[in-house]
A and B are shown apart, each in its own frame.
Chain A
Amino acid sequence: MSRKVLVLGEVRDGSLRNVSFEAIAAAKTISEGGEVVGVALGSDVSGFGESLIQYGADRVVTVAHPSLAQYTSDGFSQALLGVIDSEKPEGIVLGHTALGKDLAPRIAGKLDSGLVSDVTSLEETGGNLVFTRPIYSGKAFEKKIITDGLVFVTIRPNNIDALEKDGGRTGDISSLDVDIKDLRTIIKDVVRKASEGVDLSEAKVIIAGGRGVKSEEGFEPLKELADVLGGAVGASRGACDADYCDYSLQIGQTGKVVTPDLYIACGISGAIQHLAGMSNSKVIVAINKDPEANIFKVADYGIVGDLFEVVPLLTEEFRKLKVGSN
């Protein structure tokens, strides 16, 4: 059954997030030969339509409105519902990001539809679209089907491959006027803390510190290593509880669940709650003084040693490798 599928292109720091291109790839599968329609919302949406098409959308609908300069659930839900009303899609795909997590359930609630959140893979088998998603923070997985109505999913960043960009691909980009009013929540201020580059949920490389990092300053060598590898810094609950870092960095059963290509655990013992948040990473490296630490049981490679010795050496080594490869 072919479907028309909407994909919301999510913008962060002025450009479309990679997860939106991954969402287009997912939408292609869901559409089963139907049409994939990209959606761009914002105060200025110029350029986004072309990108969405180059990554596989067949055409794009944009809504430009001053009230969409920043994400608010009220503003974006009115805009997206406006597009849904005009397009009448049979499927919707969003990234399972802060925005997607906030917006998708509301849209599903409004449409009285199901929603499969945090999808890590999907396939069409035996006439059914089957969605796989982690439960118990990745300690288990479930396969779900949608039994009634709209095929509505959010996909986890970094798990579904985006299509190859095709610079020559073209498609229709149309704009839609949507009346946006009565915003009940107003953003007064945004403090960027994660800032220094890469967001944990989308990072390909994560350098995480635990109690072994010992202090706020102890995170500095980890940051340097992350910089060299273009990665992000994360932490265990132990490090957050000890005030070495902000809770927004916490990885684990409470905190973020991450699946980077490379996870380097520094001074993390590997409590079951932490393992739940990171053990599905593609490659895990553990650096710990204690050879008995649990983290070594899930690590692909381990170094028994003091992270304050190992991490700077590693940074140095990668720096050399990088120079070598340039």
Chain B
Amino acid sequence: MNIYVLLKRTFDTEEKITLSGGKINEDGAEFIINPYDEYAVEEAIQVRDASGGEVTVVTVGGEEAEKQLRTALAMGADKAILINIEDDVENGDQFTTAKILAEYLKDKNPDLILAGNVAIDGGSGQVGPRVAEQLNIPYITTITKLTIDGQNVSVVRDVEGDSETIETSLPLLVTAQQGLNDPRYPSLPGIMKAKKKPLEELELDDLDLEEEDVEAKTKTIEIFLPPKKEAGKILQGDLSDQVKELAGLLRSEAKVI
């Protein structure tokens, strides 16, 4: 089976966000594989181990994303593709990323494409469905279970807490929701092997794309931090009095009850 994983390098969830010069300050920040994409990598490896084939992880980004691709290779992916847009695209958006990925994938005949359902930085959740649409294959978002039998696929999907069981067939794109699996940690031999696994770097030119073809449709004009929350009021006294006071405050002061 020809399996692709769409992967994004993101800020570690532990990181505090600060601004410098109106942009997110990346100095000294730790970066990770987007946690939802990690589920996608794990699932891809499990599908390959069960059905055979090859797992290719693809990212659109800059040079630094090589580290996260190597991590995916160390987990067990077979190949990695870094589509490096550093020199060509200054301010891409989801249209940009999806267009590039679809252009790369269009002649690869993927049977299965996996992605995270959302990236924890931009948080738009657009790229997976956009890529599927451009490749004209079906997609299912926020999946928590994937079962493949030949060409037939059964998927359980999380819909705001409800579970939908969906039947479809390959080729297919799915986006991973939490609960799909427990991503493995790369083993030491895995990390050693990953160093020798193929990691190919491409640029827009290699995909016959011009900068205009992928020009963003939206633009960020400002980034700001939410107002700092003042520490609130810790209630004192007898527990039952505290509870009474709280209920009163919520009603009369905060007016939310």
Contacts and interface: CB of A to CB of B under 8 A. Distances in A.
A148 B221 contact: no
B133 A106 contact: yes
B62 interface: no
Given A101-B141, A297-B229, A303-B246, A184 B168 contact: yes
Contact of A199 (B161, B178, B220, B223): B161
Contacts of A139: 16-17, 225-226
A255 B98 CA distance: 23
Contacts of B19: 140
A319 to B, nearest CB: 10
B257 interface: yes
Contacts of B165: 187-191
B189 interface: no
Interface stretch (A28-36, A50-58, A82-90, A128-136): A128-136
A189 B178 contact: no
Contacts of A62: none
Interface residues of B, number: 83
B95 interface: yes
A74 interface: yes
B167 interface: yes
Interface stretch (B47-55, B74-82, B118-126): B118-126
Interface string A181-196: 0001111111111110
Interface stretch (A107-115, A162-170, A209-217): A107-115
B250 A250 contact: no
Interface in B204-257: 215-226, 229, 231-235, 239-240, 242-244, 246-247, 249-251, 254, 256-257
Given A106-B133, A309-B239, A145 B218 contact: yes
B135 to A, nearest CB: 10
B240 A194 contact: no
Contact of B225 (A140, A144, A148): A140
Contacts of B163: 190-191, 193
5 contacts: A101-B125, A115-B217, A117-B123, A188-B167, A297-B231
Among all A-B residue pairs, the 8 with the closest Cβ atoms: A194-B161, A114-B217, A109-B133, A109-B130, A105-B126, A247-B179, A105-B129, A184-B138
Interface of B: 11, 13-14, 16-17, 19, 24, 35-36, 93-95, 98, 117-118, 120-134, 138-142, 144, 154, 158-169, 177-179, 215-226, 229, 231-235, 239-240, 242-244, 246-247, 249-251, 254, 256-257
